[in-house]
A and B are shown apart, each in its own frame.
Chain A
Amino acid sequence: MAGQVFTYIVHKEGVADDSALELMAAAGKIYPEASVAAIVTGSGAHLDAVCDAMAASYPEVWKIDQDVLAYPNAEVIRRLLVNILPADAVVVLAHDTLGMDLGPGLSIKLDSVFVPDVVGVEGVRDNVLTVVRQEYSGQVYTHVRCDISAGAVINVRPGAFKPEESRSAAGQVVDKSAQAGDLSARRRFLEVVEAEVGDVDITKADVLVSVGRGIEDLENIEIAEGLAEAMGAVVSCSRPIVDAKWLEKARQVGTSGKTVKPKVYLALGISGSFQHMGGIKGSPFIVAVNKNPKAPIFQVADVGVVQDLLEFVPELTEKIKAK
Chain B
Amino acid sequence: MESVLTSPAAASLFGLPAMIFAIIIPLLGIGVFVYIIVRRVTPLIQAAPDDRLNRVPERLKMVLKIWLAQWRQPRYLLAGIIHIVIFFGFLVLGIRSISLVIIGFADHFVMPGFGGSFGRMYNVLKDYAATLVLIACITAAVRRGLFKPARYAVPPRYGHGHTSEAIFVLGLISTLMLSESLFEASQAAAQVQQGVPAEFLAPLSLAWIFRQMLSGVALAALQGIHLSTYFIHDFTFFFFLCFLPLGKHFHVITSLFNVFFMRLEKGRVKPVRYGVEDDQLDELESFGVKKFTDFTWKHILDFYTCADCGRCSDRCPANTVGRPLSPRFVSIKGRDYAFRHYPLGGGNGRPPSEPLMGDIYSADEIWSCTTCGACEQECPLGIEYIDKMVDLRRGMVEEGMVPQSLQKPLGALEKRGNPWGIMEKKRAEWTKALSEDYPVKILDRKNSAATLYFVDSISSYDDRMQSLACATAKILNGVGIDFGILGKAERDSGHEVRRFGEEMLFQDLRAHNTDAIADAGVTRIVTADPHAFNALKNDYAELPPVEHISQTIARHVKSGRLRLKPVEDRTKVYTYHDPCYLGRHNELYDEPRAAIDAIPGLKRVEMTGNCRDRSFCCGGGGLMLFYEPEEEQRMGVLRVEMARKAGADVIVTACPFCLVNIEDAIKVSGMEGQMEAIDLAELVERHMVVA
Contact = CB atoms under 8 A, between A and B. Distances in A.
Interface string B624-646: 00001000001000000000000
A244 B405 contact: yes
A218 interface: yes
Nearest to B634: A219
B668 interface: yes
B669 to A, nearest CB: 11
B419 to A, nearest CB: 13
A218 B634 CA distance: 12
Nearest to B629: A218
B664 A219 contact: yes
B405 A219 contact: no
Interface string A196-221: 00000000000000000000001100
B412 to A, nearest CB: 15
A183 to B, nearest CB: 42
Contacts of A218: 628
Interface residues of A, number: 4
Contacts of B668: 219, 222
Contacts of A244: 405, 628
A137 to B, nearest CB: 15
A218 B628 CA distance: 8
Interface string A243-259: 01000000000000000
B403 to A, nearest CB: 11
A147 to B, nearest CB: 39
Nearest to A223: B667
A244 B406 CA distance: 12
A218 B626 CA distance: 10
Interface in B392-414: 405
A219 B664 CA distance: 9
Nearest to A222: B668
Pick from A218, A219, A244 the residue with the most CB of B within 10 Å. Answer: A219
A222 B405 CA distance: 20
Interface string B667-680: 01000000000000
Nearest to B626: A217
Contacts of A219: 634, 664, 668
B227 to A, nearest CB: 71
Interface in B612-665: 628, 634, 664
Contacts of B628: 218, 244
A222 B634 CA distance: 14
Interface in A227-245: 244
Pick from B405, B628, B634, B664 the residue with the most CB of A within 10 Å. Answer: B628
Nearest to A246: B628
Contacts of A222: 668
A309 to B, nearest CB: 14
A218 B668 CA distance: 12
B103 to A, nearest CB: 69
A87 B12 CA distance: 115
A244 B626 CA distance: 12
Contacts of B405: 244
A317 B405 CA distance: 29
Nearest to B628: A218
**Top-7 shortest CB links A-B:** A218-B628, A219-B668, A219-B664, A219-B634, A244-B405, A222-B668, A244-B628
7 contacts: A218-B628, A219-B634, A219-B664, A219-B668, A222-B668, A244-B405, A244-B628
